[in-house]
A and B are shown apart, each in its own frame.
Chain A
Amino acid sequence: MQENEEQLEQRYCRWVDEHQGLIFRVVHASENLPEDKNDLFQEILLQLWRSMPSFEGRCKETTWMYRVALNTARAWRRSEKRRRERKEEIAIFTSLHGNDGEPNPLLESLYEAIREMPKAEGSLLLLHLDGLSYQDIADVLGVSEGCVGVRLSRARKQLAEKMKGQANEL
């Protein structure tokens, strides 16, 4: 049964509310400048809204959201010039901080390392850090489950190299 506009909006708000952390992490792992983060965050929210009617429940909500977020982040870099004129702020970012409210240099370095990695590896690592199973990662990326394992060990080595001195036992 097709949802009406109101039901769709309700589902959308619930998704954004429950999984905003997922979008937040993809945005941070993709862009560094605050204005870029804001723009990308907004673009992902819009793409998510546009994608809602075609979600048929064949995959998990989170798999769908990761796909939308990663695809938007991948394509967005190339359309920076066509960046829409923002009339009002949808999201306000603060600097990264841990649970204690203090800035977290380790997380900053981790995000920076992911941003510097090739996109496929960066996406893989982000999904792995988020705790997704190999099957779920394979679903998001559209690769085989076996490939996730091979790729992940390589990505972890790259991460260890980039984070030398901060996280030696990766």
Chain B
Amino acid sequence: MSFDELQKAWQQQDAAGQVTIESDALLRLVRRNHKTMEGILFRRDFIEVAIALILIPVWIWLGEKGGLLWTWYLVIPGLLWIAGFFIVDRRNQGKKRPQPGDSLRESVEQSLAQIRHQIYLLKNILWWYLMPVALPLAIFTLHKSWLDYEIWGMANELIFFGLVFWGIYELNQWAVKKNLKPQAEELRDLLESLNRSDSEVESSVESESSDKS
């Protein structure tokens, strides 16, 4: 069988007989999806920031209620920093999201850039997410123990918080290794294969023109 015959058989496939689309159900789905998508986007942006912001009054209330030292409140700038970081990053990245109507190459490029950004964020989670909270907490613990002369209590608290933050850090590094890096590699391979053929064409055109000259 020749390629033309194969192509003919391919083009003669009768899709209408092999897939039945329920038009009413489809329209119901897209109408429902339009509303839920707006809700999902809003909630996703809102929840991440809201958690950091809601913690601020809770933190103040706990400090006031327990009559805690001034160093307790050093966590608040850290929480504000995290909320601000989320907002700015989400806004910047939102503009770069791949669009369904992009060409395959553009779509792969955008997806790869997005995944690389996620990897960068998670690899550096210690600096922008964990440290702004862990450092003030450590200062507060040291301050309190210094005043109370409680070396063992301080050591226990520091070890506990250290383990919690280390666990969060490791969990994120695992996610990078297990999910994001394979995705990035797959996308990079696809992009390279698309780019490679372009450069091959350029080099073959160059060699042809040099042969002629």
* A67, A72, A94, A107: the one within 8 Å of B103 (CB): A67
Give B80-108 interface residues, CB cut-off 8 Å to A.
98-108
* A46, A95, A130: the one within 8 Å of B10 (CB): A130
User: Per-residue CB proximity of A136-158 to B under 8 Å, as 1/0?
Assistant: 00011111101101110000100
Residues from chain B with Cβ under 8 Å of A45 in the complex: 26, 29-30
Flag if A142 contacts B22 (CB, 8 Å): no
Q: A71 to B196, alpha carbons, bound, how many Å?
A: 20
| Known A51-B100, A97-B18; contact A142-B25, beta-carbon cutoff 8 A | no
Size bin of chain B's contact surface: 35 or more
Flag if A47 contacts B15 (CB, 8 Å): no
Residues from chain A with Cβ under 8 Å of B6 in the complex: 106, 110, 129, 167, 170
Which stretch in B61-69, B129-137, B149-157, B199-207 binds the other chain?
Answer: B199-207
* B23, B28, B29, B183: the one within 8 Å of A46 (CB): B29
Dominant secondary structure of chain A at its interface with chain B: helix
Flag if A25 contacts B103 (CB, 8 Å): no
Flag if A25 contacts B105 (CB, 8 Å): no
Q: A9 to B33, alpha carbons, bound, how many Å?
A: 13
Residue of A nearest to B36 (CB): A84
| Known A89-B22, A169-B3; contact A47-B100, beta-carbon cutoff 8 A | yes
Residues from chain A with Cβ under 8 Å of B205 in the complex: 146
Residue of B nearest to A9 (CB): B27
Flag if B104 contacts A130 (CB, 8 Å): no
* A12, A24, A41, A71: the one within 8 Å of B102 (CB): A71
Residues from chain B with Cβ under 8 Å of A94 in the complex: 17-19
Flag if A24 contacts B15 (CB, 8 Å): yes
B18 to A: closest C-beta gap in Å:
5
Size bin of chain A's contact surface: 35 or more
Flag if B37 contacts A50 (CB, 8 Å): yes
| Known A144-B198, A147-B197, A170-B6; contact A24-B23, beta-carbon cutoff 8 A | no
Residues from chain A with Cβ under 8 Å of B111 in the complex: 75
Residues from chain B with Cβ under 8 Å of A89 in the complex: 22, 25
Give B183-212 interface residues, CB cut-off 8 Å to A.
183, 186, 190, 193-194, 197-198, 200-201, 204-205
Give B1-35 interface residues, CB cut-off 8 Å to A.
1-3, 6-7, 9-23, 25-30, 33-34
Q: A89 to B23, alpha carbons, bound, how many Å?
A: 11
Residues from chain B with Cβ under 8 Å of A20 in the complex: 15-16, 19, 21
Flag if B17 contacts A120 (CB, 8 Å): no
Residue of A nearest to B200 (CB): A150
Chain B residues in the interface with A (C-beta under 8 A)? 1-3, 6-7, 9-23, 25-30, 33-34, 37, 98-108, 111, 183, 186, 190, 193-194, 197-198, 200-201, 204-205
Interchain residue pairs with CB less than 8 A apart (29): A12-B30, A20-B21, A24-B15, A25-B15, A50-B100, A67-B102, A67-B104, A71-B102, A74-B107, A90-B21, A90-B25, A91-B21, A93-B18, A94-B19, A97-B18, A101-B17, A107-B9, A107-B10, A110-B10, A128-B7, A129-B7, A139-B103, A141-B104, A141-B194, A142-B106, A143-B105, A143-B197, A147-B197, A167-B3
